[in-house]
Amino acid sequence: MWGLLVLGLILIWSRHDANAVATALTILTGAAAVTQFLMAGRWKPKPGASTPEQVDAAVDALARELVKQWVPEGRRRMLDEPNRLDVRCAPLHGGSGDEVDCDELVAAYADAPRRLVVVGPPGSGKTGLCVLLTLEMLRRPDADRVPLLVPVSAWNPDENFEAWLLTWLLETYPSLGSRSRYGPTAAREILARDRVLLVLDGLDELPDDQRTAALRAINSDLGAGRPLVLTSRTAEFASANAGGQIRDSQVVRLLPLRDRDIVGHLRTTVPQAGIDRWEPVLAELTDRPDGPLGQVLRTPLMLSLAHSVYSDPKRDVRELLGLPDAEAVAAKLLDEFTTRAFTTRRPSPLDSSEHRPGRWPPRRAERWLGFLADQYREVAWWQLWRKVPAWVFVARGVLIGGTLSALLGWLLLGLFGRPVLGLLLGAAVGLVSGVCLGLVPADPPRRFVPRVPRRDEVSRDLVFAVVGAVAGGVAVGALYGGLYGVVIGLVFGAAFGLVRRFTEPTEPTEAVTPDSVLRDDRRAVLIAAALGSGLGMLVGAFFAGVIGLPAHDLVVPITDPVQLGLLGGAVGLLCGAGGLGLATYATSASARFNTARIWLAVTGKTPWRLMAFLRDAHRVGVLRLVGPVYQFRHELLRDRLARRR
């Protein structure tokens, strides 16, 4: 930046007197000093490591975030209910005499953590057990480790597990990256010092060819003997673990619900005023426990769906009785659960509640969920653009960039009586820039994670620099000639590239959610636009007030330097905000999301208010929240929605 300023001053010196150069030096070096100050704060090396006290504070903060995250999830799963289902487990190769209640398993494990693998069929309660264990560990203030429930499906086993886990931890709980509170290495120290108990949920959700590699990587990267919990479907784990990849582990299997427990649970939890409606079903379960209905209700998932769907007195639970087989019963429960979730109540016009599931037409909601289930394993808003044709983003860039640049060119050169030239130049610059920015891949959401940019990020900064150089150089060159255009093009190019690096805040205070990540990304775009406005105002005021505008060419002649400076500053502010703000917005994750949201809504694949729809789907239990992404409540539900699409 300083080199570009020196070059610019040398060139200006050859054209103007010393007073102009001195004034230029005052203004431009002031801007450069501010830039250098910001860069020094961002790039200054942070030697050393977090102190033990800082690591302890980070662990305490993480525990508080986990409580806020998992206590509500436990309530949604009704894990705190006194009449909670009695799920049992046994050693994988043990006999019936080895059965224990899952509550006993959780209590014993919390007392003495070890390597534990939990397997079971779909819907048997593996994730529920993970949440139950997480809550139990969080209730123990003297626990050495904080439970960290991690979705294994988010990991690619080709990547080092510890390295990925560190990245995932900082992205999901970004407050741990606060240097001012916890030092530079708190998150790394938490993992290295074995301060977390890893609860790895869903090995079976990895692709078939990655599960064995995942088990080997967990062993090699974490080391033998480190306590952890791993869940998987039974068959998938047996196949992946054929060579004994998980060493020193105890493997337990979740057992089907007992017939008497199913009947007892329904008699206890169904309101007594409506128990008569359930008598035919209870009789079927008692007389034919191995019938289609009895087979399906032996998993906690299906039993909870049946209770949820048919707790409505308007529904006839006898619908479950005459279905031909277990597959038909399961399909009926999954379909009815989704439909009921969005027909719980119709909103009153006076209802201002943020969450109103009844506002979504049930059939449309099922179709929207079916599209998401078919196209995405998990719903991350910044990934939705991948299902939108590339030409849509190019067209967006051309339309917005061409229109705004043409208006700015018309305004700028219109001051000198050349509005048509300004319109054409602006449109040309906007069209070229719009095509370039439309082809550049979207940035990931701006995160609160301090990091050195990777090579691909530097290349995107260079794209911003080129856009800034073209925008600033053409505008100034048209007024003052090629020499000034080159100088300002270089300065604007450097500023555009650097300002992009400033749009990543670094002091988070709480765990991320989809909405918070979206807000942060939009805030970053506004920051870039504000910085661009300031830079443009300084440059515009400098050229107009110090070097001077060709006053005789102005539509309204102005000769007073102060007035010229104000005019130039105003024009520069608009150009800077439009140029840098537009460039940042065009490649931001939130802009890609906005375009994708509109395209998907126009084509009928998702609703217009997609984020509100996802929040409501989470509230009624169709989706679950895992950090900044939504996942379907269960793979069975996702598969069923995808097939019905």
Q: What angle do CA 412, 414, 418 make, to 5 degrees?
A: 115
395/425 Cα distance (integer angstroms):
19
Specify the pLDDT at position 565: 62
pLDDT in tens, 260-296: 999 998 998 888 777 888 999 999 999 999 999 999 9
pLDDT at 49 over 50: yes
170/450 Cα distance (integer angstroms):
10
When the pLDDT of each residue in the chain is averaged and rounded to a whole number, the result is: 77
What confidence tier does 638 reach under pLDDT thresholds 50, 70, 90?
very high
Q: State the DSSP H helix or E strand holding residue 221, giving kind and residue range, or none if neither.
A: helix 211-222
Q: Is 242 helix (H, G, I), strand (E, B) or coil?
A: coil
Give 425's Cβ-side CA count (13 Å radius).
22
Tell me the two tokens of residue 47. 């030697």
Residues forming a β-bridge with 623: 632
pLDDT at 566 over 80: no
437/544 Cα distance (integer angstroms):
30
Estimate to the nearest angstrom the gap between the alpha carbon of 75 and the chain centroid. Answer: 24
Specify the pLDDT at position 365: 92
Q: What value does the mean pLDDT take over residues 563-573?
A: 66
Cα–Cα distances in angstroms (integers) from residue 245 to residues 44, 224, 433, in the given order: 43, 11, 53
Q: What value does the mean pLDDT take over residues 179-204?
A: 91
pLDDT at 370 over 90: yes
Model pTM? 0.73
Tell me the two tokens of residue 630. 């939504």
pLDDT at 227 over 70: yes
pLDDT in tens, 527-564: 777 776 776 677 666 666 555 555 445 445 555 666 66
pLDDT at 608 over 90: yes
Contact (Cβ atoms closer than 8 angstroms) between residue 91 and residue 251: yes
By DSSP bridging, strand 146-151 and strand 196-201 are parallel
Concatenated DSSP letters for 499-541?
HHHT-------S---HHHHHHHHHHHHHHHHHHHHHHHHHHHH
Contact (Cβ atoms closer than 8 angstroms) between residue 196 and residue 148: yes
What confidence tier does 85 reach under pLDDT thresholds 50, 70, 90?
confident
Tell me the two tokens of residue 281. 């079903």
By DSSP bridging, strand 249-254 and strand 378-379 are unpaired
Give 524's Cβ-side CA count (13 Å radius).
29
pLDDT at 413 over 70: no
Q: Which of 9-18, 290-299, 479-488, 588-597 has the lowest mean pLDDT?
A: 9-18
- If phi > 0 it is left, if psi is from -120 to 50 it is alpha, else beta; for residue 172 that is alpha
Q: What angle do CA 24, 28, 33 make, to 5 degrees?
A: 145
What confidence tier does 517 reach under pLDDT thresholds 50, 70, 90?
confident
- How many percent of the chain have pLDDT more than 70? 67
Concatenated DSSP letters for 280-310?
HHHHHHHH-TTSHHHHHTTSHHHHHHHHHHT
Q: Which residues fall within 8 angstroms of residue 153, CB to CB, at 6 or more apart? A: 202, 205, 206, 377, 378
pLDDT in tens, 233-263: 999 999 888 866 677 788 999 999 999 999 9
Any idea how long the chain is? 645
Dihedral over Cα of 510, 513, 519, 524: its sign: positive
250/263 Cα distance (integer angstroms):
31
pLDDT at 195 over 90: yes
Higher pLDDT, 290 or 449: 290
pLDDT in tens, 371-401: 999 998 889 888 898 888 888 888 877 787 7
Q: Which residue has the tokens 């009785």?
A: 321
384/629 Cα distance (integer angstroms):
12
The closest of 337, 236, 340, 268 to 296, measured between CA atoms, is 337
Contact (Cβ atoms closer than 8 angstroms) between residue 368 and residue 379: no
For the beta carbon of residue 114, count every other beta carbon within 10 angstroms.
Answer: 14
Specify the pLDDT at position 416: 63
Q: What value does the mean pLDDT take over residues 481-507?
A: 57
- One-letter amino acid identity for 431? L
Break the chain into its structural domains and give their ranges: 52-254, 259-341, 384-504+519-584
CATH of domain 52-254: 3.40.50.12060
367/369 Cα distance (integer angstroms):
5
By DSSP bridging, strand 88-91 and strand 100-101 are antiparallel
The closest of 151, 618, 644, 592 to 373, measured between CA atoms, is 644
The closest of 14, 1, 32 to 542, measured between CA atoms, is 32
Q: What value does the mean pLDDT take over residues 61-76?
A: 89
Q: Which of 4-8, 75-79, 577-581 has the highest mean pLDDT?
A: 75-79
